[in-house]
Structure 1
Amino acid sequence: MSFNFKEVERVENISAKDFQKYYVKPQKPVVVERITEDWPAYEKWNFEYIKQIAGEKEVPLYNNDPVDFTKKVNEPVARMQMSDYVDLLQDKPTDLRIFLYNLMSQVPQLQNDYKMPDLGLNLFKSMPMLFFGGEGSNVFMHYDIDLANILHFHFAGEKRCIIVPPQDSKYMYKIPHSVICREDIDFDNPDFDKWPALKNINPMYADLKHGEMLYMPEGWWHYMKYLSPGFSMSLRSLAHKPKNLSEAVYNVFLMRTYDNIMRKIKGQNWINYKNEQAILKTNKLILR
């Protein structure tokens, strides 16, 4: 048994007025298929170009090892020259990924390859983040700590994005004091006997090809799987809803600080406690 997925709506192109009216205001995801066709990146962004322009840069690499109290949040498991990493991606499947990396700060020339889309969002111009992954690798289910509006552009290859609306958070086995759910949930092949609350969620999917963009509204959960080697770029805009904006401030300045303190004090016992609470609190909802 699997999820009853609904495909994210698709449009070829869209005006800022319609984007705001039909997607941002109602907080509804959408894929815009041809939004990057007038970018230099549409023709240039492939693995050989990345090797040529940034091959000598050392990049941080991540995998999906379980949370360990001895490691800092977003601490890389390895580092490698970009040219060697690209060769690895093209040679064989690997779970090593580049995650939330501002390569453009090191290679400013890349900034000439894209245009800030005119969609009525106040996008952070200094924060275009890049993500790379090999065939079969995935980014664990989470939502962004700042509850931003996210524009996610994919290049080279194909990527499946599974997204879940924030109103379903209570069924997601969310880990307390974090923005992730239980890491042992397999969202490709969910075990509903082990995780019965997941039967209540309303997941959507979008398969992104080269040049396509997925809009993810504020606080939406997302799980990304690389169907083939590829890379993506995300642009973001602050949360518009006052409730989400206040929650973002709490997450960044209070929740994360508290969690880091408790890790230092209680170590692995803190991680174990949070994992247990995720099950107890979630299953309690469906037993009422």
Structure 2
Amino acid sequence: MGLDLKQIPRVAKISKTDFMAIYVSKQQPVVIEKLIEDWPAYKKWNLAYIAKIAGDKTVPLYDDRPISSELKFNEPHAQMKMRDYIELLKEKPTNYRIFLYNLLKETPPLQQDYSYPKVGLKFLKKFPFLFFGGQGSKVFMHYDIDYANILHFHFHGEKQCILFPPSETKYLYKVPHALISHQQIDYTNPDFDRWPALKHAKGFVTNLKHGETLYMPEGYWHQMTYLTPGFSMSIRALPFNWIHLTRGFYNFFIMRHLDNFMRKKKGQRWINYKNEEAIKRTNKRNRIKG
């Protein structure tokens, strides 16, 4: 028995009117298979091209180690030249990922390879981020700090994406004062004896291939598994829901600073407290004994 996941709907192409009316207004995810076929990036972007054009850039790397008091919010675990990192991706499976990196700002020629789709969203054009991962690497279940509407474009290979709407937060063992689910949960093979509330969560899943676009609505939880080495780009638009907008401002200007302060003051005790509270609060909310 696995998670209760439906396949995310797919369309080949879609008009701005239909995209806004059917998916954005109803806050439902969708995969658009041919949205970016007119981008130069559709034909050009692969790992070899990135190594050629940005190989000398030193990039921040993250692995799958649990969050600890030793690192600040989104602080990388290592650094490497992009060329060497891509060689590592090709050579063997690795847990090292590039996360929320603005390579496009540092490598101007890449900026000529894409444009902002005219789908009705007002994009934040200074924040297009790239994400890289090796075969088998996983991104922990989380939602984004700003509650943005996100278009996520995948390149080179295939990745699995599991999504949950904000309504399912009560089942996901959310860590307090954080944007993540309890990191010991394996969403690709969940242990329902240990995490019983997950049995009630209803979500979505899809496998993204080269050139496909995933729309993730405001505040959606997402967990990614790279089935092959590859990379993706995300662009974001501010939330329409004023509650989400307010929560995004709180997360960015208050929550993350409070969390860093408590890590510095209490160290690992703060991390342990949050993880324990994630379990206690979820089980209590769902009337689960244990």
Interval of TM-score (by shorter of Structure 1 and Structure 2): over 0.9
What per-residue deviation string (whole Å, max 9, x for no partner) do you get for residues 158-189 of structure 1? 01000011000011100000110100001011
Is the aligned partner of 1:91 residue 2:91? yes
What per-residue deviation string (whole Å, max 9, x for no partner) do you get for residues 92-111 of structure 1? 00000010100011101101
Q: In the alignment, which residue of structure 2 is the partner of 1:241?
A: 241
Cα offset, 1:4, TM superposition: 2.5
SS of the residue 1:203 aligns to: strand
Distance 1:48 1:260 in 2: 37
Cα offset, 1:262, TM superposition: 1.3
SS of the residue 1:14 aligns to: coil
Residue identity matched to 1:49? Y
Distance 1:223 1:82 in 2: 24
What per-residue deviation string (whole Å, max 9, x for no partner) do you get for residues 75-97 of structure 1? 11111111111111011000000
Residue identity matched to 2:103? L
Distance 2:132 2:287 in 1: 41
Q: In the alignment, which residue of structure 1 is the partner of 2:284?
A: 284
Is the aligned partner of 1:185 residue 2:185? yes
Structure 1 residue runs without a partner (length 5+): none
Is the aligned partner of 1:16 residue 2:16? yes
What per-residue deviation string (whole Å, max 9, x for no partner) do you get for residues 100-157 of structure 1? 1000111011010011100100001111100000100011000001000000000000
TM-score normalized by structure 1? 0.99
Aligned residue pair count:
288
Cα offset, 1:257, TM superposition: 1.6
Q: In the alignment, which residue of structure 1 is the partner of 2:270?
A: 270
Residues 134, 229 of structure 2: 8 Å contact kept: yes
Q: Which runs of 4+ in 1 moved over 4 A?
A: none
Cα offset, 1:258, TM superposition: 1.4
Residue pairs, 1:193-208, within 5 angstroms: 193-208=193-208
Is the aligned partner of 1:33 residue 2:44? no
Q: In the alignment, which residue of structure 2 is the partner of 1:152?
A: 152
Distance 1:231 1:256 in 2: 27
Distance 2:224 2:244 in 1: 23
Residue pairs, 1:251-270, within 5 angstroms: 251-270=251-270
Q: In the alignment, which residue of structure 2 is the partner of 1:140?
A: 140
TM-score normalized by structure 2? 0.98
Distance 1:98 1:287 in 2: 39
SS of the residue 2:257 aligns to: helix
Distance 2:273 2:77 in 1: 24
Distance 1:183 1:246 in 2: 26
Residue identity matched to 1:95? N
Residues 4, 199 of structure 2: 8 Å contact kept: no
Structure 2 residue runs without a partner (length 5+): none
What per-residue deviation string (whole Å, max 9, x for no partner) do you get for residues 256-282 of structure 1? 121111111111111111111111010
Distance 2:211 2:38 in 1: 10
